[in-house]
């Protein structure tokens, strides 16, 4: 638990928590896709799963850029 000194700091901490939660959710989705990919043998489904992984990785990259800004 953090002690908030100003409204600006409160917003920053809340934003950080949202980004952390979103980061974790995306990592969980990537792990789920990874498990699905391991069991999939069809080319078309693998392409779709690969595109989904790329989308999540792109979102993860954007979140991490926001976090470091």
pLDDT digits (tens, 9 = 90+) for 2-46: 565 788 888 888 999 999 999 999 999 999 999 999 999 999 999
Q: How many residues are given for the chain?
A: 69
Q: Any idea what DSSP says for residue 37?
A: H
pLDDT-based confidence at residue 1 (cuts at 50, 70, 90) = low
Residue 65 has, within 13 A of its CA and on its CB side, a CA count of 6
**Nearest to 64, CA basis, from 12, 30, 16:** 16
Backbone phi, then psi, for 64, in 5-degree steps? -70, -30
Q: What's the distance, CA 32 to chain centroid?
A: 13
């Amino acid at each position: 638990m953090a002690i908030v000194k100003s409204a600006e700091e409160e917003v920053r901490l809340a934003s950080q928590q949202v980004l952390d939660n979103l980061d974790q959710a995306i990592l969980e989705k990537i792990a789920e896709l990874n498990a699905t990919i391991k069991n999939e043998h069809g080319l078309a489904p693998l392409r779709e799963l690969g595109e989904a992984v790329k989308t999540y990785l792109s979102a993860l990259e954007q979140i991490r850029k926001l976090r470091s800004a």
